[in-house]
Amino acid sequence: MNPSSLFPQSASRRAFLRTAMAGALALSCGPWVGSRRAGAEPAPPRSTLRYKIGVSDIMMLKRQKLGALPLAKEVGADGVEVDMGGLGDRETFDNQLAKPEVREQFLAQARELNLEICSLAMTGFFAQSFAERPTVARMLQDCVDTMKAMGVKVGFLPLGVRSDLRQQPELRMPVLERLKLAGRIAAEAGVVIGVETSLPAAEEAQLLDEVGSPSIKSYFNFANAVKYGRDLPAELRTLGRDRIAQIHCTNEDGVWLEKDPKINLPEVRKTLEALGWSGWLVVERSRDAADPRNVRRNFGANTAYLKKIFQES
């Protein structure tokens, strides 16, 4: 048999071949292409996303480790919040990113994986006193210098246990003065420092207004509002769009976000859209209490749910 007789000729033959090739390609790809269903619209470029999903390296047990980046990619995040390193009794953070060669490794890995470093975190202040440590100015400068060197626009500053203004209101004045200092340092570098407090939104807004710097904003944490029985959307509305730098959008450990009755994420999205806010939502906790150290499972589930709520139209 003449092989050419198996195919239609001329234009009809070309159409037949195009159809056959398209079918073969679909079969070779299977029902999924990457992380989206075949036939679905391609994911929008990250630069156009109104809400981006980040993960905390320290909570993924990868504090300032290069391995946090491929792990973040694996769990589906858009970026990573990288820690500044431990503090303890040091004069400043144990910051390996101060070394140019280490910084370049992180930046090169992020470029290769198409990830962003969304913020640098000064988590050493969770246990150390921001109000009383004598070398706070140096710590702030070191963080801001690293941010500037890496092109990172937001720093995370938790007031933590030892400068908790809800429990120790007598520390308000030293905290206020040091936040004003932080504002001057950040403004000079063109970056923003997001502060986490345990205060109700109205009191936190008052504190930020007294600092009086556009470079000092709130790093809002869902867990604080939930812990003290506050209305989460109302707290966001009280702070307002211009006072919020970034958001830690998880609760304390127990259940994943999609199973948490205390956080209504569709309502949160409506609130943020009404405010006109856009930015990074960073996963910190909300780990399954029955399997808290399973990083891929916990962070993968929370990241997927956040993308479903905040990145699907």
Low-confidence ranges of the chain (pLDDT < 50): 1-44
- What is the model's pLDDT at position 313? 74
Sign of torsion over alpha carbons 184, 185, 191, 194? negative
CATH superfamily placement of domain 48-310:
Divalent-metal-dependent TIM barrel enzymes (3.20.20.150)
pLDDT recorded at residue 45: 55
Q: Could you identify the residue written with the tokens 């009280």?
A: 238
Neighbours of 143 (CB within 10 A): 29
The predicted pLDDT at position 47 comes to: 63
* pTM, full prediction: 0.85
Domain ranges, ordered by start, for the chain: 48-310
C-alpha angle 44/311/226, rounded to 5°? 155
